[in-house]
Amino acid sequence: MEPLKEATAIKSEISRVIANTAYQTYEKRLLKEVKENEVPHHVAVIMDGNRRFAKEFGLTPTEGHIKGKDKLEEVLDWCMELGVKVLTVYAFSTENFNRDVDEVSSLMQMFEENFYRLAKDERVHRNGIRVRVLGQRDLLPDSVLKAIEVAEGATAGYSNFYYNLATAYGSRQEIIHAIKQIAQHVKDGNLEVSDIDERTFSNFLYTADLPDPDLILRTSGEERISNFLLWQLAYSELYFTDVYWPGFRKIDFLRAIRSYQLRQRRFGK
């Protein structure tokens, strides 16, 4: 190697090592600060940016979704490390069915494989993670439904952590579904109109036995909710980051938690 090129390569490597060391130092300090304060009990995530990440790095949309899946595995670990008891992620919306047929098909196959994998995942059983799916299951292929049943059945007895995947999910549809159920109960004489309140309504949602999210974070730079947990987020703290989901780092997650910790929650008071 020519002396000039060799010197440039050495300088580049030194810069990389320094940057990596600085990053690790900052991450450790931030992790320590976060652990010293109260963490949110329930974190909900709008995982956005898989396809844009893939395009930026010359990958196919499917490869982008695979990287997004891998990132979700990391985030689950981060939640358990911090003691976040409930993680709910927006995996696939009802509107996503309108995407390219091949992309939807590959996602359905990915869901099927992952639910079977979760059912056998040693980490899931060791940590007592209950896996649940929130959404309109009748829209999903039978093969995915069977995999969901296996994963939910294998983890039904756990209560240390809750891992909820909103799949074929739309919040407006969830609310309409709840309204129809309540109307039927009133019609059948099992519920009085005067007894309908916020708690009653919440009991008919997919999240009936779960606490509302404390923190909702969205990646990719978009600052909207996109039909996700509209009823449940009434008093949630919102956090937006411009990082694409597959590129979401632990330090980004810690920053979101730290931002939550620095806020004063008033719950409308």
Catalytic residue set: 48, 96
List, as one string, the DSSP characters of 188-208. TTSS-GGG--HHHHHTTSTTT
Q: 3-state DSSP call for residue 238? A: strand
Closest by CA to 155, choosing from 136, 182, 128, 180, is: 128
User: Which of these, 66, 42, 70, lies nearest to 217 by C-alpha position?
Assistant: 42
Q: Which residue type sits at 225? A: I
CB 102 within 8 A of CB 121: no
- DSSP one-letter code for 45: E
CB count in 10 Å sphere of residue 158: 16
Helices (H), the chain: 3-35, 50-56, 61-82, 101-120, 122-127, 142-155, 171-187, 198-202, 250-261
Distance from the first to the final alpha carbon of the chain? 68
